[in-house]
A = this chain, B = another copy of it.
């Protein structure tokens, strides 16, 4: 296997979009192509994450139509669906196809229209990523799942629920602060200076999670240009290398011993670290899947950044802020930036690379620029997990 680099990145504005998801995807691809300084005719295959296009927009086989929309010719174009992790598993596969030597340059990314369909319809739609026979359709939708996870977290570590709500609120405050600085975020210039009470007093959604503990639904797309590492410097002075990837499966909930320690996430992160030859101590920046505030705590512990039960205090103490032990979700995360399901994994990588290039907003940029970054993307209620480790150099492998 040869090394793989990312040489171009694209990202639409997250929020409410009037365009169809295919149009959003093309917009992000054209940006990525332009950023890489390559041409569409150089692209040999397309890897697209999309979770709900059939249900929402009456369009399956979306990857092929994206290839057509971009006039890419008859190249292979494949759609991956792993719920909210769709883009990450598409990117992981793209890295394999380039790493194997089969393709030299490809597009990988994801897209979704998740906001314009409306909230009631959305809740039912997203519940399709729960286990159909036993979960979503009987009423156990995602806010409820993560509320259960929070309850379990409180019980495991003997934290009074009101105390845990305060600790979780710091995730919301941090991620909204970062999102307000991100010009492509859904909440850009909004909710940037939340007070603890505002989070705690926001409308209760599923006890103990209130509205500001939850990420919004979003429309958006993001895309990357991947190429063989040895060719990367032909195109850019700032290639970013894919050092390791992992993917894991889990669920359904009825089979899980402890919602706060999903084996899918632990296994996936371990694989990625092993492949990269790195440990959590080496990582300078992570984008984790904060669909709910509690999810960020669970992610950080499963990935090994904090011991079991220690992430809640770490967030409250500012260890996950700019200048802290490990900055987390400097993009705003799903909570501050928005969550267009099938696009999220690509967006996470986009913002890691913006940081590595020193192109984050004022007050948001890590200094010196991070050497190693990592993404964590979660599909459904721990059904699909994917981790990708990125480096400015080919790393310690």
- A→B interface (CB under 8 Å): 1, 20, 46, 51-52, 54-55, 57-61, 63-65, 67-68, 72-83, 89, 93, 96-97, 99-102, 127-129, 131-133, 136-137, 247-252, 255, 263-264, 266-268, 379-380, 383-384
Contact = CB atoms under 8 A, between A and B. Distances in A.
17 contacts: A52-B60, A55-B55, A60-B83, A60-B380, A61-B81, A61-B383, A64-B249, A65-B251, A65-B383, A67-B249, A68-B252, A72-B249, A74-B249, A76-B249, A79-B81, A93-B93, A96-B96
A101 B1 CA distance: 9
Nearest to A102: B96
A68 B250 contact: yes
Contacts of A73: 249, 263, 267
Contacts of A63: 82, 249, 384
Nearest to A384: B64
Contact of A251 (B58, B64, B263): B64
Contact of A96 (B60, B100, B247, B248): B100
A79 B76 contact: no
A54 B137 CA distance: 12
B1 A68 contact: no
A379 B61 contact: yes
Contacts of A249: 46, 63-64, 67-68, 72-77
B80 A80 contact: yes
A20 B133 CA distance: 9
Given A68-B249, A79-B81, A80-B81, 15 more contacts: A1-B101, A1-B102, A20-B133, A52-B60, A58-B127, A60-B81, A60-B380, A64-B380, A68-B131, A72-B249, A73-B263, A74-B264, A76-B247, A78-B82, A96-B97
Nearest to A266: B74
B136 A58 contact: yes
A129 B79 CA distance: 12
Contact of A60 (B46, B59, B129): B129
Contacts of A128: 54, 58-60
B61 A83 contact: yes
Contacts of A76: 89, 247-249, 268
Contacts of A60: 51-52, 81, 83, 128-129, 380
Most chain B beta carbons < 10 A, residue from A59, A73, A96: A59
Most chain B beta carbons < 10 A, residue from A46, A52, A74, A263: A74
